[in-house]
């Protein structure tokens, strides 16, 4: 396999230009210029310059480019948040098919999967990425984590075991230190696990979108179009090998796909909440969705998964302090303060006091979704869930 992929490198800049052109060619309705569909496509393509600014700024250590990139993404994220909130009030939803046949979409989708997975296979975890498996071995042997070790907090809130799997770096933000052979040997299994989980999770996301199209919209072409658009996004290419990004995404997609089975949907949402914590803010919306029917089954499935994850942490902890530290990380307690903030707020320290009103507004929005819109349907569940997850970036 290495002989065929020798020298293969997925350059982010090249991918951004090609994916943007393909997105416009496939999804832009040239015979209906003034449509929300076209506006959405243009807004998605407009995210690319922000990602490139952050990529170049990080590689060249230029804070001015990083600042511009984060401002660009911040503004576009605010636009998408308003767009998703307005989506529930839209009545006219004409079916606008892609400009390509289902066969052509399938071919492009499979080709994109091959290129993305080749990028994961040809990359290796860096020396810093292998610090996770070292901690994982200590946890599995019920050993106490060394004092001052930041492995449990550097990734943000979420399930510690998920973050301890090495990431397969597929972007060149900065120079990484490759792992030396003697350090790589004992952790080759973890690296292979990371690659396998990343690949299987992307496949799960694609299959989940296909099943949503087939089961809930009776249109497999819609599912294929959505899955292909997901694979075209520069975000997908940039973080292909990051298990902590794609595993929760796969769980959320399948929670939507299984929404007619409240217990299964609750279990999947509970796993996603335990994995990265942020899906917890979806709970008011989903409880409101199942309020009339299925509330008890959904709640049982959700709580049972969280209890199972907490029990796993208790079994792998060496003592009570170790267990409580991991529990705080799992439920986001370590990320409630402003120190260590990154992204847009990092370059606007003087604006940090405004972050608290933003957080309060976000909490009010999540709580309001328990009551609005009413009645709820799959369309409102999709748009409001996307709005909640998008709002976590602020």
pLDDT tens string 79-113: 999 999 999 888 777 888 899 999 999 999 999 99
Q: How far is CA 151 from CA 164, 238, 370, in A?
A: 8, 23, 36
pLDDT digits 0-9 by tens, 171-227? 543 344 445 444 455 567 677 777 888 899 999 999 999 999 999 999 999 999 999
The first and second tokens of residue 119, run together, are: 């990028």
Percentage of the chain surpassing pLDDT 90?
50
pLDDT of residue 104: 95
Please compute the mean of the pLDDT values over residues 161-173 and round it to a whole number: 61
pLDDT of residue 394: 79
* pLDDT for residue 176: 44
Task: Note the pTM of the prediction, 2 decimals.
Answer: 0.89
Q: What is the DSSP letter of 3?
A: H
Integer-rounded Cα radius of gyration of the chain: 21
Helices (H), the chain: 2-5, 12-27, 36-60, 63-87, 102-122, 131-140, 160-163, 181-184, 188-217, 220-232, 234-238, 243-257, 262-276, 283-289, 295-316, 320-330, 355-368, 378-391
- pLDDT of amino acid 85: 94
pLDDT at 67 over 80: yes
Query: DSSP string spanning 208-220?
Result: HHHHHHHHHHS-H
Q: What is the pLDDT of residues 110-149, one digit of tens each?
A: 999 998 898 888 777 665 556 655 665 565 555 555 443 4
pLDDT of res. 369:
96
Interval 356-370 mean pLDDT? 93
- Once rounded to an integer, what is the mean pLDDT over residues 26-38? 91
- Band of pLDDT at residue 286, cut at 50, 70 and 90: very high
337 vs 261, more confident: 261
Does residue 317 carry a pLDDT above 70? yes
3-state secondary structure 323-358: HHHHHHHHCCHHHCCCCCCCHHHHHCHHHHHHHHHH
Q: Residues near 206 by Cβ (< 8 Å), separated by ≥ 6? A: 109, 113, 227, 230, 231
Q: Can you list the alpha helix ranges (DSSP code H) found in 277-319?
A: 283-289, 295-316
Residue 92, phi then psi, degrees to nearest 5: -80, 120
What's the CA gap between 333 and 330, in Å, rounded?
Answer: 8
Per-residue pLDDT tens over the stretch 1-17: 455 556 656 678 888 99
pLDDT tens per residue across span 251-272: 999 999 999 999 999 999 999 9
Q: What is the pLDDT of residue 181?
A: 46
Find where tokens 């303060």 sit: 337
221 or 58, which is more confident? Answer: 221
């Amino acid at each position: 396999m290495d002989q065929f992929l020798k020298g293969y490198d997925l350059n982010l800049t090249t991918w951004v230009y090609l994916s943007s052109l393909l997105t416009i060619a496939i999804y832009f309705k040239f015979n209906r210029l003034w449509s929300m569909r076209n506006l959405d496509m243009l807004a998605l393509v407009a995210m690319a310059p922000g990602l490139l600014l952050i990529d170049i700024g990080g590689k060249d250590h230029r804070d001015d480019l990083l600042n511009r990139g984060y401002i660009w993404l911040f503004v576009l994220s605010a636009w998408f948040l308003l767009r998703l909130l307005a989506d529930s009030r839209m009545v006219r939803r004409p079916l606008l098919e892609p400009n390509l046949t289902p066969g052509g979409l399938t071919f492009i989708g499979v080709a994109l999967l091959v290129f993305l997975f080749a990028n994961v296979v040809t990359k290796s975890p860096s020396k810093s990425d292998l610090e996770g498996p070292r901690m994982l071995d200590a946890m599995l042997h019920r050993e106490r984590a060394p004092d001052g070790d930041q492995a449990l907090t550097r990734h943000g809130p979420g399930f510690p075991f998920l973050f301890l799997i090495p990431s397969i770096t597929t972007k060149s933000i900065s120079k990484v230190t490759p792992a030396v052979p003697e350090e790589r040997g004992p952790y080759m299994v973890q690296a292979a696990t990371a690659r396998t989980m990343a690949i299987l999770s992307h496949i799960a996301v694609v299959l989940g979108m296909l099943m949503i199209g087939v089961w809930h919209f009776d249109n497999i072409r819609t599912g294929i179009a959505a899955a292909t658009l997901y694979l075209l996004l520069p975000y997908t290419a940039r973080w292909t090998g990051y298990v902590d990004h794609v595993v929760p995404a796969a769980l959320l997609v399948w929670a939507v796909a299984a929404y007619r089975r409240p217990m299964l949907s609750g279990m999947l949402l509970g796993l996603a909440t335990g994995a990265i914590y942020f899906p917890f803010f979806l709970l008011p919306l989903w409880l409101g969705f199942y309020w009339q029917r299925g509330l008890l089954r959904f709640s049982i499935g959700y709580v049972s998964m969280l209890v199972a994850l907490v029990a796993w942490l208790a079994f792998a902890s060496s003592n009570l302090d170790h267990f409580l530290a991991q529990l705080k990380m799992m439920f986001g307690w370590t990320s409630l303060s402003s120190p260590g903030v990154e992204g847009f707020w990092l370059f606007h320290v003087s604006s940090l006091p405004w972050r608290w009103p933003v957080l309060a507004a976000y909490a009010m929005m999540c709580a309001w979704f328990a009551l609005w819109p009413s009645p709820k349907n799959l369309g409102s569940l999709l748009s409001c869930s996307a709005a909640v997850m998008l709002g976590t970036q602020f």
